[in-house]
Amino acid sequence: MKPVSFHRVQVTDNFWKPRMETNSKTTLKIQYKHLKETGRIDSLEPEYKKGDREAHHIFWDSDIAKWIESGSYSLHYFPDEELEEQIDDVIDKYARLQLEDGYLNSWYIKVEPEKRWTNLRDNHELYCAGHLMEAAVAYYQVTGKKRFLDIMCRYADHIDSVFGPEEGKKRGYPGHEEIELALVKLYQVTNNERYLNLAKFFIDERGAQPHYYDQEALERGENPERRRPNYEYSQSHLPVREQNVVVGHAVRAMYLYSGMVDVGIETNDPTLLEACSTLWDNLTQKRMYITGGIGASNLNEGFTFDYDFPEETSYCETCASVGLIFWGHRMLQYYGDNKYGDVVERALFNGAISGISLSGDRFFYANPLASLGHRHRSEWFGCACCPPNISRLIASVGGYIYSEADDSAWVHQFIQSSTELNVASQKVHIEQRTNYPWSDKITFFINPERPAKFTLYLRVPSWTRSPFMYINGEMTDVYGLLDKGYVKIERTWSPGDSVELILPMPVERIWATPFARLTNGRIALQRGPIVYCLEEVDNPYTPLSRLSLPRSSKLTATFEEDLLGGVMTIKGLADVMETDDWDANEPYRLRHPIVKPVTIKAIPYYAWDNREPGHMIVWLRETF
């Protein structure tokens, strides 16, 4: 199947459209302000502080590129003349900056022109190039303007002249993956197979021996034997088809695996997909947080070991959850299995959007699962990869809902929207109406141009119990039609047909695996796709770890329209250990603590740290 691009989907959803509007009216404007004030945009001027290392940074181009990409997506839904002029102005700057041979990197043009392509391991030349390519493709898709696309094709042609298996070319590949998936996007809009072949080269060459990063270190006059980096950090420790454990820097890994899927599908190479399938199972079964956050450690911004899930120190970079969504959505197109769509949904509604405030002007770099009240979103970062990354995800969320094939239509995510698919040799209009994730009902209206036989696939999330469905008002068995977690409805469809899918959403207690030493024996609350947390502002019992939830306690969900933009909250009776009878200078004692019943209130995890600062926890002790 092929994913339906964002620009073919109209999003009218009560949950996502307000976020898209905030992204357009607030987030993009704030990003542009910071890009200007920090010198990122000015650094594209030819005479901007040449040679001044303190006035520049090696990956500023990527920050600008992701803002352009996000702005492009947003322009499709919210035309904005000022934003379009700002983007055009930045494109003009890049056009003036580009060298005659096509090379385009502001750091190396201004600061270290003699060191181009000499340190792929540590510096971000190919990474920045990839983000610029993605931005150019997005801007062309929305506006039809080819100037930026032409600029990036010239740059891609230059890169292709430098790297490859041919004699005289460098056999290197990026230390920070990204260009692999970007080159596939460039290929898809230009049909230039050189770009696809280059993406394949970067993936096939990764981890080959002798190790390229050792060779380039020698060429720089360094001794790689004296200080050999851990190549797991950049997933270059082994050829990609031999990798079976997700390791290293989490964002780099997600971009690499996304590129592997793209190249595997475009070149019909199942070995890349098989490797990704193995890596996916390792990640989602042993190294992913309940929120869809990934990467436990701040030391490597990435993975440690199986079942390592610290809470207060959990890293869970926003960019990593965004990358997980990229990868999972690609896996869906090949395998058609709900286990991929379920993880995309988990990250979308939890670990990714927690990275941005409801007001759209503050951001988390890391997304902990517990806080003592000192973790808050920031206005900006010196390393500002996360703000434009979550921005481009929100702006393009329409592109994660539908897929199409010659004889089938697919719905992966439940977001109120409409689109026109190319199925059964005709246009098929599909409209989705829902108040998801708060409501359990999703209604689909199927309108082909004329009656036609094709298959409609609807994802049934693994968290739901006892789903049921009506086709044109007639109840239909869901379980008898399940295929890899999708309801498979094969019939002759006529204009005016409808399907109503009901996904019951009781409040659930989710147990942590006993193999996770930090969370075993504890539970988290979940309703539908939403993971919940407790904040001090609602539960004044710090530290919140004093709370425990009796197994017999009844939990109820209530929609609060005026809270946090409108959310479903969960309330119930819990027990709290008293502190009044405990001497603060007495760390241990023999007497049993006094416990009293209290009412607790949980809110969606994505919405924490939008009110008064205070403690927060996701995992609770359960008592019998």
Residues recognised as catalytic = 301, 385
Q: How many CA atoms lie within 13 A of 71 on its CB side?
A: 25
Quick check: 296 and 304 in contact, CB under 8 A?
yes
Separation CA 272–CA 241 (nearest Å): 6
Structure-token pair, residue 386: 């996360």
Return the DSSP state at 566.
Answer: S
- By DSSP bridging, strand 567-577 and strand 555-560 are antiparallel
Report angle CA 294, 299, 300 to the nearest 5 degrees: 60
- Side chain identity at residue 446, one-letter code: I
Separation CA 119–CA 172 (nearest Å): 10
Sequence-separated contacts (24+) of 57-61 with Cβ below 8 Å: 57/107, 58/107, 58/123, 58/124, 58/128, 59/107, 59/124, 59/127, 59/128, 59/176, 59/385, 60/106, 60/107, 61/105, 61/106, 61/107, 61/128, 61/131, 61/132
Quick check: 355 and 390 in contact, CB under 8 A?
yes
Q: Which residues are paired to 508 by β-bridges? A: 526
Quick check: 366 and 374 in contact, CB under 8 A?
no
Helix, strand, coil content of the chain in percent (nearest 5): 40, 20, 40
Structure-token pair, residue 249: 């820097």
Sequence-separated contacts (24+) of 46-53 with Cβ below 8 Å: 46/96, 46/97, 48/110, 49/110, 50/110, 50/111, 51/110, 51/111, 52/110, 52/111, 53/111
Q: Where are the alpha helices (DSSP H) in 78-146?
A: 81-97, 106-110, 125-143
> Tokens 């357009």 correspond to what residue?
24
- For residue 578, count other CB atoms closer than 10 A to its CB: 12
Give the three-class secondary structure for 532: strand
Nearest Cα to Cα of residue 354 among 318, 315, 380: 318
Separation CA 79–CA 588 (nearest Å): 63
Give the three-class secondary structure for 388: helix
Q: Is the peptide bond before 210 cis (omega within 30 degrees of 0)?
A: yes
Q: For helices 270-286 and 318-335, what crossing angle results, to 10°?
A: 130
Quick check: 530 and 506 in contact, CB under 8 A?
no
Q: Report the Cα–Cα distance between both ends of the chain, in Å, rounded.
A: 48
Quick check: 614 and 597 in contact, CB under 8 A?
no
